[in-house]
Amino acid sequence: MAQEKPDKQLGLLQGTLDLLILKAVSLGPLHGYGVLLRIQQISSDELVIQQGSLYPALYRLEHQGAIVSEWGESDNNRRAKYYKLTRAGRDRLGSETKKWNRMAGVIGAILSATTEEA
């Protein structure tokens, strides 16, 4: 895709973001802000997620049937929309995780090989 540079980064982030959201929600139902917090918490604040792209990603995943939402009470007694993984979402999380691990392994191997030969 011949797009501008920022879009390229966004595109890269998008696939990853979906995976991270699925993982975060797989640990228990969360509202949007909760997803953000959990990812930051797990990654020990190393990964900062663009807050703006979080909600479109959540809506996209729900549209695709990977997660479902339900309104409920939040910790501060406010109404909040909670997302929960569906069966299809769990299948997808499994297959995408496998794919990600393979990809990471392959890229890691390539990168280390390059260093050795250089």
Length of the chain: 118
* 88 near other proteins, rule: CB under 8 A: yes
Applying the rule CB under 8 A, the residues between 45 and 74 that interact with other proteins are 50-53, 55-57, 59-60, 62-66, 71, 74
**Rounded least distance, CB 88 to other proteins, Å:** 4
Q: Where in the chain does DSSP place strands (E)?
A: 30-31, 67-73, 79-85
Closest to other proteins by CB, 23 vs 83, is 83
| 29/4 Cα distance (integer angstroms) | 36
Strands (E), 14-78: 30-31, 67-73
Is residue 101 part of the contact set for other proteins (CB under 8 A)? no
Cα–Cα distance, 54 to 37 (Å, whole number): 12
* CB nearer other proteins, residue 50 or residue 112: 50
DSSP letter at 3 equals -
**Is residue 23 at the binding interface for other proteins, with CB under 8 A as the rule?**
no
Query: Which residues are 104's β-sheet partners?
Result: none
Binding site for other proteins (CB under 8 A): 31-33, 36, 50-53, 55-57, 59-60, 62-66, 71, 74, 76, 78-81, 86-88, 91-92, 95
